[in-house]
Amino acid sequence: MTDVVDATVSDGNMTPKSDLYFPSPEVVANANVPDYLAVREKALTDPVGFWDARAKELVDWYTPYTQVLDASNAPFFKWYVGGKTNIIHNALDRHIKTATKDKLALIWEAEDGAQRRYTYHDLWLEVNRFANVLKSLNVKKGDTVTIYMGRVPELSIAMLAVAKLGAIHSVVYGGFSEQALADRINDARSKVLVTCDGAWLRGKTVNLKDIADEAVAKAPVVEKVVVYQRTNQAIQWVENRDLWWHELVANVESECETEQMDAEDPLFILYTSGTTGKPKGQLHTCGGYQVHIATTLKYVFDIKAEDVWWCAADPGWITGHSYIVYAPLILGATGLMYEGAPGYPNPDRWWELVEKYGVTILYTAPTAIRGFMRLGEAWPEKHPMSTLRLLGSVGEPINPEAWRWYYKYIGKERCQIMDTWWQTETGGFMITPTPAVPLKPGSGTLPFAGIIADVVRTNGDSTDANEDGFLVIKHPWPGMARTIWGENERYVQTYWTDFAEQGWYFSGDSARRDEDGYFWVIGRMDDVIKVSGYRLGTAEVESALVSHPKVAEAACVGIPDEVKGNVIHAFCILNAGVTGDDALVKELKDHVRHEVGPIAIPAAIEFVPTLPKTRSGKIMRRLLKAQLMGQPIGDTSTLEG
């Protein structure tokens, strides 16, 4: 079965034709992989061969691997068996021996306009110094280090330093609360926490050290807290535990040996929310992950030596791990990192940055795009942004209206949009175009070369064109998470039981394929809500609500929102004698902020006498969502009598 459209290109720049946007012949000819569709067709028949070739092309190995894929203990697959490598060798060490040594690796701009620039050599020295600091704190291969910082270069430096030593980093997004941070520290068993005194956001400071102190009080496993001084605000200090970053790095050597790692040794843990209260620690490994992300960045975003790449995410999420910190460095690219929020202090701050630094490729989330849309096109129209040549979208499916606005007002009707679907669990892009592929607004187009994906019914049969179904991956891929940290059985139950007979990975998303084979991702099929591109488990928010003394039960659903993709609508049953009013709504919202973080605050809280449940006691959230949205409630045969 063919699953591609005719790859014929139109004359001139990309022009819509029956809602297909074709790349120009010039774009195709200059792409890193101009014959991508042919390469992809070949990879469909031999995915292992494709990933073998990419590992030899893009990654150096201390010791060559002897087997590309070991599937003997599925679903605990192993890639590049016997190979020895380290992602830091490929991201930094090898560049120091070439002309790339003096190339800009990272440009950073603070919210107040201050800037720092790091060549590959500068970054290498900083990483070595902080790796030696971690060594002095007895961090060694296999240990875990939790990182909880603002969007500063030191966040990337800390991650790279941990990996250099063969330790495992667990980055926790700086917007999470002390309880969420403590839970993740305890689960990872981190002896060292790296944080900041504070972070800047919209002209104000976020007191990260205060939050970290409260978390460590609940996480006695932590022995040392390293504090990077960013805001110079007053903080509490615990002698013999707390240490200043700048004092530590001033007294160490600037060279540090890179640990040789087995391809299947752990590289990092990154937590995602689940449908039970406990977050899932996705474990990624050293070999396959770097092959996957380097390949996808090279093919999809067509990285060239002269490019200035801006992935406008936060390093604390998988997008930042893969496509801010690691893949650009492996490819020897120049990356931009901006500290502040979109639209601060003026709505055209981003477009000023694009022009100031000559950004050629911008990768951001539909949430940001929709936010800019609400501000009007006058702001981007002030800026030609003539250096831009490619755009990208990540986080949740982008609606066609936002796609077209992005294309017209940011790309000036000349920049293709790489709309990527992937997950923390997948490590890198899974469904995505490349510059050689015709585009449809709102579609991620096709599975990436070497990725065997399908949309299927409950029985495993492929769906018909334009029929909704389950989005599955039918063959292992190198960047896949190997397990949930410390919970192998949960890993199997979460991802591999729905289609256990076939041995397929179920993404948890629903999708459809159109008559041209293009994939359209619809959204989550489980009880996970995506807010502004961040996945939040309903159970995590519900647990926070129920922990309030006035709440007996709670249920949360995601409701579509034109800016955030989804917002949380909470239903609460109050304890006897408690009256629900506006004051209590505010009190509960503040409580969720404290327990989980601001991204988890419900947009609305509704007080109800009962919740629909199955006979086994499971809350039927789909009924709540259907009622809110005025949709048919469907099958209620399992509803409690």
**Band of the pLDDT at 13, cuts 50, 70, 90?**
very low
- Characterize 84-108 residue by residue with b for buried, 16 or more Cβ atoms within 10 angstroms of its Cβ, and e for exposed: bbbbbbbbbbbbeeeebeeebbbbb
Mean pLDDT across the chain:
91
Specify the pLDDT at position 640. 47
Determine the average pLDDT of the residues in 204-213: 95
Specify the pLDDT at position 8. 37
Cα 384 to Cα 104: distance, rounded to the nearest angstrom: 24
Q: Is the pLDDT of residue 273 over 80?
A: no
Residues 6+ apart with CB under 8 A from 113: none
Q: Is the pLDDT of residue 631 over 80?
A: no
Beta partners for 567?
559
Looking up tokens 């926790």 gives: 172
Residues 6+ apart with CB under 8 A from 405: 369, 373, 377
The arrangement of secondary structure in 527-629, i.e. its CATH architecture, is 2-Layer Sandwich (3.30)
**Band of the pLDDT at 274, cuts 50, 70, 90?**
low
Beta partners for 84?
63, 262
CA-based torsion, 605, 606, 609, 615: positive or negative:
negative
Cα 119 to Cα 333: distance, rounded to the nearest angstrom: 11
Angle (CA) 383 385 391, round 5°: 125
Specify the pLDDT at position 296. 98
Q: Is the pLDDT of residue 551 over 70?
A: yes
Tens-place pLDDT, residues 427-462: 999 999 999 999 999 999 999 999 999 999 999 999
**Band of the pLDDT at 633, cuts 50, 70, 90?**
low
Specify the pLDDT at position 576. 81
pTM: 0.85
Pairwise pLDDT comparison (17 vs 341), residue with the higher score: 341
What whole-number percentage of the chain has pLDDT above 90?
75
H or E segment to which residue 308 belongs: strand 308-311
**Band of the pLDDT at 635, cuts 50, 70, 90?**
very low
Specify the pLDDT at position 7. 37
Superfamily of domain 90-259: ANL, N-terminal domain (3.40.50.12780)
Burial class of residue 21 (count of CB atoms within 10 Å of its CB; 0-12, 13-18, 19+): buried
Determine the average pLDDT of the residues in 336-348: 92
Question: Assign residue 427 a region: left if phi > 0, alpha if psi is -120 to 50, beta otherwise?
Answer: left
What does the block give as tokens for 63? 């010791």
CA–CA distances in Å: residue 518 to residues 437, 455, 471: 11, 11, 13
Tens-place pLDDT, residues 213-271: 999 999 999 999 999 999 999 999 999 999 999 999 998 999 999 999 999 999 999 99
Determine the average pLDDT of the residues in 13-24: 69
Residues 6+ apart with CB under 8 A from 362: 310, 312, 354, 388, 390, 391, 392, 410
CA–CA distances in Å: residue 291 to residues 17, 52, 113, 245: 36, 9, 35, 32
Specify the pLDDT at position 288. 98
Whether the CB-CB separation of 221 and 185 falls below 8 Å is answered with yes
Specify the pLDDT at position 547. 84
Cα 435 to Cα 417: distance, rounded to the nearest angstrom: 8
Q: Is the pLDDT of residue 638 over 80?
A: no
* Domain assignments of the chain as residue spans, ordered by start: 90-259, 527-629
Q: Is the pLDDT of residue 639 over 90?
A: no
Same CATH topology for 90-259 and 527-629: the answer is no
Specify the pLDDT at position 425. 97
**Band of the pLDDT at 2, cuts 50, 70, 90?**
very low
Longest Cα separation, the chain: 73
Cα 86 to Cα 69: distance, rounded to the nearest angstrom: 19
Q: Is the pLDDT of residue 408 over 80?
A: yes
Determine the average pLDDT of the residues in 621-626: 84
Determine the average pLDDT of the residues in 196-202: 93
Q: Is the pLDDT of residue 489 over 70?
A: yes
